[in-house]
Structure 1
């Protein structure tokens, strides 16, 4: 799933910007909603972006304050693999 990474970090809501021509696709593919707010101007992009938001499924194993300190110090996105600095 597209949002597995952020779900693993404990998030259940997402907010992002999408090009106007793609915003409807985001609503269909990811069940997001277009926010009724002014478009966002992004430097270097010729067209403004729309804000889209949605709820995502919670992770069955989120990273929390109760996670082991080793896991919390691991490389982003590689929480289940021991890092080279961990001792056996």
Structure 2
């Protein structure tokens, strides 16, 4: 699996958790300490996360890093296979 698939997977997981908590972008920006512009790029999957950013966001959302990585591995595989299927058309 490629880095882009993992980036998209992690972003989707974090967006989902943010929605579950009914947390606004402003709340998560304040809680994580990540600048708003960077935050938007990270959660859209536009930009890969640095390790520190990953831990800040995961902590702000009350998640465990290992849990997120496990879910991301499964989701990235789905994204990769979907992308491969779309590219073969």
Q: Shared topology, TM-score over 0.5? A: no
- TM (norm. structure 1) is 0.23
Task: Give the number of the structure whose residues are more often strand, by fraction.
Answer: 1
State which structure, 1 or 2, has the greater radius of gyration over its C-alpha atoms.
Answer: 1
